[in-house]
Amino acid sequence: MKGLGIKKYDFMGAACKPKPDTKSYTLQEFKQRFNPQEIYGYTFKVIFRPVKYATFNMLARTSFMLKGGQYHGDSIDLYIREHGQCEGGS
């Protein structure tokens, strides 16, 4: 990237405390090779329309099931399930 004149590149996020046997950990290791400057922020989810949210999740689970897979929720749900709540930067 530097050869192309690109001075900054945003890899869009990092896991707070990834467990070694997860995809998040492998991705985090890859990102660390670039000597990143970590800037801490927050990710959260607010459900404004609970009925639409529940309907979407039901349809997503059904679609995944019909294709032989399993729906695990959005990226925030996956992260919380894998790592628990993140308590800010360190």
Whether the model pTM is above 0.85: no
Q: How confident is the model at residue 39 (pLDDT cuts 50, 70, 90)?
A: confident
What is the average per-residue pLDDT within 32-59? 86
**pLDDT above 80 for 78:** no
pLDDT of residue 89: 45
78 C-beta neighbours (distance < 10 Å), count:
14
> Which structure tokens are listed for 58?
């039901």
Considering only CA atoms, give the Rg of the chain. Answer: 17
- For residue 69, CA distances in Å to 63, 78, 80 come to 8, 15, 20
CA distance 30 to 6: 19
